[in-house]
């Protein structure tokens, strides 16, 4: 009998119903973004521009770019060095399959479907198929998922929603409690757990930090509860190759932080500090009014999720639904307790003392890790044993999900100004006028607000620190105009490739060329083939090149730094190790299965 004929199609169909329902729920949750229009959420412009730049780099044959050319009004920034690659690569890849207007909705659908399916996979460890499917749908329609999709457009963070349940799944899992310590630690979950750790770091830095601390906490909790070092050993053994897999991004991002002012991400804006974001916090400063309005909204979402999870846990426990696999339920309850604790000022010492935890900025970001436990507790509490009641409950939840979606579409959706729409952003990007830069990617001691818009490719000056541009009523930055006579001569620049900047100039008198290019040590600057070591220290962060009278060919080429090369090698070695480990675990699993 052929393998195809041996397939039990009825069983396969039954097993496919749950995933199909979850995928349909994700399609429903993202439907308004397809039918009406995308939402220009808080982070929408940032991600959209990253997709444009990544797609342009791919068009020129550069798969892993480092520099984005259009921020800072064409002077650029090293965004791709510091922002993880998963979402900007995924957005650029989707554009190959569909028009730009469809990419945001498609990305939201993929993230929500991943969240639901991962939650369902975690839930199947302890509850029935129907209940697990309900848990996956609840995670999709949890207030925080829809808030991220419709108001924040936080695509990097939404990726964490797919990975957090898998992190818990592979950390909690213990297939053979009677086996030796080594077999319990390396029971087939190690390679997948390493991939999940890598995925978290390649999605979003705060999510990577959150995931590693969550992994450590639940692994230690499991070790104590089960009186075995196997969970902690598995977590440690997975974290190292997982971080190794992400080293292609992580090592350069960590090493090159000294070349930019990353601290501005958490210190410049008072609303980005942990102590300004406790649930229901309010501030007397009128400048914080908009921040407080958003904080109130997310506080209501977070408190509702926490309260619902606590009530569902109590009901499930009271109804005796948590008797089997009690250690599994205790660990899931431990996650809920930790998240609850971290939302209030009493947890401030933890935020201050634990390394890098403050980079999460917002304590309510932990709701991302609560989506799956909340869905599982609720499903365990309400899912009935009788099929008739199951159908009725499914209809009730379908109505509740539809109501939640209508609420989110009405209250969370962010309208798009003409300049912030995809068509407006595309026009501005293609015109070369550029966009505002992000402070955390600025050179040390440089001010983004001093970079003039409309600058030529190069401006010849006698004073390397000469101010370029004048205040404008239209934008916060100064604007340069030829009539200001701040340049003794101007020269056009050509981007030969996305990371190769060239100027051919005839210098009328000795002086300095101020390039419309932000300084960064990875740039290799040459004038007529001779390297330039000192590129100035202007307050606007632009590169300054001394030039003599006569012909001058100036090239700025992105160089391969040692940390980037090391990161690639580490990732390659980690990939080989994880692949070998996966093959070994698969072979061991096959050997343990009984033969017919």
551 backbone dihedrals φ, ψ, rounded to 5°: -70, 140
Q: What is the SS3 assignment for 501? A: strand
Could you tell me if 556 and 501 are in contact, meaning their C-beta atoms sit under 8 angstroms apart? Answer: yes
Edge-to-edge strands, sheet with 494-497:
494-497, 500-507, 550-558, 523-527, 530-531
- Checking if the pLDDT of 490 tops 60, the result is yes
Q: What is the pLDDT at residue 592?
A: 61
Task: Please report the pLDDT score of residue 229 as a whole number.
Answer: 85
428-431-437-441 Cα dihedral, nearest 10 degrees:
130
Question: Across the chain, what does the average pLDDT equal?
Answer: 90
Residue 185 has pLDDT above 60, yes or no: no
Question: What residues form DSSP beta bridges with 554?
Answer: 503, 527
Q: Which residues does 59 contact at the CB level (< 8 Å), separation at least 6?
A: none
- Between the ranges 1-10, 264-273, 498-507, where is the mean pLDDT highest? 498-507
Beta strands in 320-415 (DSSP E): none
Residue 596: per-residue pLDDT:
47
Residue 184 pLDDT: 53
- Residue 16: the pLDDT is 84
Q: Which of 17-21, 450-454, 587-591 has the lowest mean pLDDT?
A: 587-591
| Distance, first Cα to last Cα, the chain | 16
Average pLDDT, integer, range 466-480 = 90
383 pLDDT higher than 80? yes
pLDDT for 266:
57
Cα distances (Å, whole numbers) of residue 333 to 122, 172, 207, 223, 299: 14, 12, 21, 15, 21
Residue 562 has pLDDT above 90, yes or no: yes
For residue 176, is pLDDT > 60? no
| Cβ contacts of 519 within 8 Å, gap of 6 or more | 443, 446, 535, 536, 541, 542, 543
Closest Cα partner for 214 from 194, 233, 241, 235? 235
36 pLDDT exceeds 90?
A: no
- Give the residue-averaged pLDDT of 370-392: 92
Q: What is the mean pLDDT of residues 508-525?
A: 94
pLDDT beyond 80 at 129: yes
- Which of 100-109, 314-323, 432-441 is the most confident on average? 100-109
Helix, strand, coil tally for the chain in percent (to 5): 60, 10, 30
pLDDT given for residue 183 in this prediction: 54
Whole-number percent of the chain with pLDDT over 90: 74
Nearest to 449 by CA among 47, 70, 73, 69: 73
The per-residue pLDDT for 445 is: 87
pLDDT level of residue 270 (50, 70, 90 thresholds): confident
- Rounded to an integer, what distance in angstroms lies between the CA atom of residue 434 and that of residue 75? 8
- Asked if the model's pLDDT at residue 12 lies above 80, the reply is no
Helices (H), 124-257: 129-140, 143-147, 155-172, 181-185, 190-203, 205-226, 230-245, 247-255
% of residues, the chain, pLDDT over 70? 93
pLDDT at 514 over 90: yes
Token pair in block for residue 36: 């009406």
pLDDT tens, position by position, 38-63: 999 999 999 999 999 999 999 999 99
Query: What's the pLDDT band for 8 if we cut at 50, 70, 90?
Result: low
Which whole number is the average pLDDT over 360-372? 95
pTM: 0.93
Question: What is the pLDDT confidence band of residue 264, given thresholds at 50, 70 and 90?
Answer: low
Which residue in this structure is represented by tokens 């639901």? 116
Q: Where are the domains of the chain?
A: 181-260+569-596, 447-559
Confirm if 443 and 259 have CB atoms less than 8 A apart.
yes
Q: Is the pLDDT of residue 551 over 80?
A: yes
Say if residue 590's pLDDT is above 70.
no
Dihedral sign (CA 26, 28, 33, 35): positive
Look at residue 1 in the predicted model and tell me its pLDDT: 44
pLDDT of residue 186: 55
172 close to 60: Cβ distance less than 8 angstroms = no
Contact partners, residue 163, CB within 8 Å, separation at least 6 = 118, 196, 199, 200, 203, 207, 211
Distances (CA, A) of 33 to 27, 401, 408, 480, 539: 10, 16, 11, 39, 42
User: 104 with 49: CB under 8 angstroms?
Assistant: no
Q: Tell me the CA distances in angstroms from 468 to 436, 443, 487, one per residue in order.
A: 17, 18, 8
> Do 220 and 268 touch, CB atoms closer than 8 A?
no
Distance CA 168, CA 231 (A): 11
According to DSSP, the β-strands at 530-531 and 500-507 are: unpaired
């Amino acid at each position: 009998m052929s393998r195809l004929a041996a397939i039990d199609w009825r069983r396969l169909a039954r097993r496919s119903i749950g995933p199909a329902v979850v995928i349909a729920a994700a399609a429903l949750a993202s439907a308004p973004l397809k039918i009406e229009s995308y939402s220009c959420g808080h982070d929408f412009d940032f991600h959209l521009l990253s997709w444009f730049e990544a797609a342009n780099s791919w068009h020129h044959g550069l798969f892993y770019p480092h520099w984005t050319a259009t921020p800072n009004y064409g002077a650029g920034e090293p965004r791709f060095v510091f922002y993880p690659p998963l979402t900007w690569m995924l957005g650029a890849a989707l554009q190959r399959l569909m028009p730009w207007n469809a990419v945001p909705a498609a990305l939201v659908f993929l993230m929500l479907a991943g969240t639901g399916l991962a939650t369902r996979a975690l839930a199947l460890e302890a509850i029935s198929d129907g209940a697990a499917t309900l848990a996956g749908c609840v995670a999709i329609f949890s207030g925080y998922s829809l808030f991220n999709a419709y108001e924040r457009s936080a695509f990097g963070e939404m990726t964490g929603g797919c990975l957090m349940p898998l992190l818990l799944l592979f950390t909690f899992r213990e297939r053979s409690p009677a086996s030796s310590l080594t077999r319990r630690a390396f029971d087939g979950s190690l390679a997948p757990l390493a991939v999940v750790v890598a995925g978290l770091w390649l999605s979003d830095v705060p999510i990577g930090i959150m995931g590693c601390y969550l992994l450590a906490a639940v692994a230690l909790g499991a070790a104590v509860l089960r009186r075995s070092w196997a969970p902690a050993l598995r977590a440690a053994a997975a974290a190292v190759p997982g971080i190794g897999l992400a080293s292609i991004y992580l090592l350069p991002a960590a090493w090159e932080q000294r070349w930019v002012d990353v601290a501005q991400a958490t210190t410049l804006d008072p609303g980005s500090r942990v102590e300004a974001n406790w649930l229901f916090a309010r501030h007397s400063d009128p400048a914080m009014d908009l921040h407080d309005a958003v904080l109130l909204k997310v506080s209501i979402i977070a408190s509702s999720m926490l309260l619902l999870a606590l009530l569902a846990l109590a009901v499930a426990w009271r109804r005796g639904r948590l008797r089997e696999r009690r250690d599994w339920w205790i660990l899931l309850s431990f996650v809920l307790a930790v998240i609850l604790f971290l939302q209030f000022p009493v947890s401030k010492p933890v935020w201050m003392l634990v390394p890098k935890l403050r980079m999460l900025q917002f304590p309510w970001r932990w709701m991302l890790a609560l989506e799956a436990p909340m869905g599982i507790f609720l499903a365990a509490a309400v899912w009935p044993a009788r099929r008739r009641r199951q159908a009725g409950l499914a209809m009730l939840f379908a109505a509740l999900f539809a109501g939640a979606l209508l609420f989110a579409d009405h209250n969370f959706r962010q309208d798009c100004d003409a300049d912030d729409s995809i068509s407006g952003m595309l026009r501005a990007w293609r015109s070369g006028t550029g966009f505002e830069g992000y402070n955390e990617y600025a050179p040390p001691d440089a001010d983004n607000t001093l970079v003039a818009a409309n600058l030529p490719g190069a401006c010849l000056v006698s004073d390397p620190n000469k101010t370029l541009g004048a205040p404008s009523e239209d934008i916060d930055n100064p604007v340069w105009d030829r009539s200001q006579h701040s340049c003794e001569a101007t020269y056009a620049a050509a981007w030969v490739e996305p990371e190769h900047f060239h100027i051919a100039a005839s210098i009328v008198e000795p002086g300095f060329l101020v390039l419309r290019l932000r300084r960064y040590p990875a740039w290799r600057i040459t004038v007529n083939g001779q390297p330039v070591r000192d590129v100035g220290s202007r307050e606007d962060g632009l590169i300054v090149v001394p030039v003599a009278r006569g012909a001058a060919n100036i090239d700025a080429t992105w160089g391969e730094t040692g940390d980037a090369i090391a990161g690639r090698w580490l990732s390659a070695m980690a990939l080989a190790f994880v692949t070998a480990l996966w093959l070994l675990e698969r072979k061991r699993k096959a050997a343990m299965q009984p033969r017919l």
